[in-house]
A and B are shown apart, each in its own frame.
Chain A
Amino acid sequence: MTINITKVKIAGKTKDFFMAIVVEHLTKKYGSQKAVDNISFEIKTGEVVGFLGPNGAGKSTTMKMITCYMAPSSGIVKLDGLTNENDPEGIKKKIGYLPENNPLYTEMAIIDYLKFSAEIQGVEKSKIPPRIREMIDLCGLNPERHKKIQELSKGYRQRVGLAQAMIHDPEVLILDEPTTGLDPNQIIEIRRLIKKLGTEKTVILSSHILSEVEATCDRILIINKGEIVADGTSETLRHQVQGKELLTVQIEASDKEVVKKALQKLPTVETVQSMNEKPDFYLIQSKSDFSSRKAVFDLCVGQKWYLLEMTGIETRLEDVFRELTVN
């Protein structure tokens, strides 16, 4: 049995991070088409990771291989010393999975369905009733608990899907687009639930909604055309794409040309544009790795110009996403 430990130095102390999931060179071919192309990544225990990507990028296929629903064409999935090749049933036992579109046996009653899920995952018989009660409480199913699944609203069905995924207390939770088709209130509730779960478990979720991934995940993997094109927190991803600082400033002065020339002369400034639609506004791009905020302020003080506004333009995750996934 091999356990993957990465020693990471944090503030001088050595901490052991157990790798919950290690994926190495995963490839899935459908005929001649590669749905997933040589993906490798590691996920630490307790991390909440978001798979982000346009539709058809290979997010679901990757998840299906991690959950051992289908075997990869090549590559390997390791979970807690088990691999998809030598013990897929062992891996399945440690994973709770909510497939895309949340398929359920709709003719069953919620409690019967949770009992079935627990039995089939090999939960001890005596532990099943308390486990079901726990899941019903955790997922907020109490008001509806005696209903059949087909009588439930989509939001409650999603909760049933989450409850069945967690019934056997898995170490890893894999959620494929957990909020599609929900109304904004339900989305917020499901996200809150995922956040709550994320404090105890390793969670992988996929989405094409950027704000969702940003709001719930510690780490983002952007997948495009079967490959990982970016990996990091939302801040590092933004920084990676942006590179240079962008500022809009509003300076009130008698001669606009003088202001523009003075700004241009600042050592950290690369380009200055006056904004046609708004008088007194300038768009300043700094040289890479430099900030011009203080220099602009000092300049205005020195020249006795009024600095009315200075705003940094943040790259939104949307821009990062478009940058990485278009073409």
Chain B
Amino acid sequence: MKSTWVIAKRELGAYFDSLIAYVLIILFLGLSGIFTWFFVRPIFLVNQANLQFFFGFIAYWALFLFIPTITMRVLAEEKKAGTIELLSTKAITDWEIVLGKFLSCLILILISLACTLPYYITLSMLGDIDHGAVLGGYFGLVLLSASYISIGIFASSISNNQIVAILVALLISILFHFIFDVISNSFRGTLGQVFNYLGFSSHYESLSRGVIDSRDIIYFGSIIFIGLLFAQAVLSKRNWKD
């Protein structure tokens, strides 16, 4: 556990030493701010104190697009530079490496999300806001982000090319993001339900309404775990007997 944290700390340092972290936070904050307050369905025109549009549209899309850009480097870069060999020959397991990387990305996203808290605080002063829905919304965003991160880390593990990593991450993410929903709409009955269940949106929507259901948590937890497990399996491929 301690080595996981050492890895995560170094990774976070790398994000903040380069411009990645700042650019990400500014872009995320700027985009979500502009769209929440001024464009498309500006809060002042709608005249309702809620963050539905932020949770349902802006953050939902922004995280889908931004997260692969931070996860694409995590393993691909190490593989390309050969530093993965250095890391793997220290007294840590592949699982700790993957977990440390996951933790660093998650913390970076948590910081970005924390920067949007002033929206909530301002709105709650302007009118009656459904605190439960906001809390659920943030909780949903964290789970959603963690799932994208996990998928992104797996994508980053399969290649030493960052472009391949980001494209694969987007490809897998878009399936969960809306392709499964689109498929589910064209099927009736069980098949439709299965695809509806597989997509992120139904689980995320109920969370962002403030309904915290253990089934949704288990769903996101499974996606996160499977993604990290696959990433670790790809890293451990070098140990195959032939």
B-contacting residues of A (Cβ < 8 Å)? 29-31, 64, 67-71, 73-74, 89-90, 92-93, 95, 97, 99-101, 103-108, 112, 116-117, 119-122, 164
Contact = CB atoms under 8 A, between A and B. Distances in A.
Interface in B206-242: 238-242
A253 to B, nearest CB: 65
Interface stretch (B88-96, B136-144, B182-190): B88-96
Contacts of A101: 82
A112 B13 contact: yes
B90 A121 contact: yes
A144 B13 CA distance: 21
Contacts of B45: none
Nearest to B84: A103
A103 B17 contact: no
A67 B89 contact: yes
A201 to B, nearest CB: 16
Contact of A103 (B13, B86, B93): B86
A239 B142 CA distance: 70
Contacts of A104: 83, 86
Contacts of B238: 69-71
Interface in B65-110: 81-83, 85-93
B112 interface: no
A103 B239 contact: no
A95 B83 contact: no
A91 to B, nearest CB: 9
Contact of A105 (B2, B83, B90, B240): B83
Contacts of B88: 69
A164 to B, nearest CB: 8
Nearest to B90: A120
A117 B89 contact: no
Counting chain A CB atoms within 10 Å of each CB, which of B91, B240, B241 scores highest? B91
B91 A99 contact: no
Contacts of B10: 105, 108, 116
Contact of B239 (A70, A99, A112, A117): A70
Interface in B6-30: 6-7, 10, 13-14, 17-18
B3 interface: yes
17 contacts: A67-B89, A71-B240, A73-B241, A73-B242, A74-B241, A92-B89, A92-B90, A92-B91, A97-B89, A100-B82, A104-B86, A107-B17, A108-B13, A116-B6, A117-B90, A119-B6, A121-B91
Counting chain A CB atoms within 10 Å of each CB, which of B18, B89, B91 scores highest? B89
Contacts of B81: 103, 106
B89 A29 contact: no
Given A90-B91, A92-B89, A103-B85, 7 more contacts: A29-B242, A64-B85, A104-B83, A107-B14, A116-B10, A120-B3, A120-B6
B3 A99 contact: no
Smallest CB-CB A-B distances: 6 pairs: A103-B82, A71-B239, A29-B242, A93-B91, A70-B238, A103-B83
B91 A120 contact: yes
A260 to B, nearest CB: 61
A184 to B, nearest CB: 25
A51 to B, nearest CB: 17
Nearest to A97: B89
Contacts of B82: 99-101, 103
